[in-house]
Structure 1
């Protein structure tokens, strides 16, 4: 498993994409995604990730 910092971006919401399907009232509008961290999981999925207190205090991090 690993994490990645995702930079912010601005998109126009499309009805065929997941955000447009989840929030149809946003279709056609421009929205801004803020920078965030995603985790690539052991089973190959990507999920949002928030560091826990123990993650923040860990000393086994490596920048690749």
Structure 2
């Protein structure tokens, strides 16, 4: 499992796409899952297979 805590929080959109694409490629090639904390819904929609979200301090 690859753990990524806000891996793109300080990056511009193009760099964010590159980092997430690299994480996806690494995970695919190694047969690993990725657990990432992201705050950009558009990136979550593009890269996530599954989603857990916190709503009012609770997992939804």
Normalising by the smaller structure, the TM-score range is under 0.3
TM-score, normalised by the number of residues in structure 2: 0.22
TM-score, reference length from structure 1: 0.21
Identify, as 1 or 2, the structure richer in strand.
1
More helix by share: 2
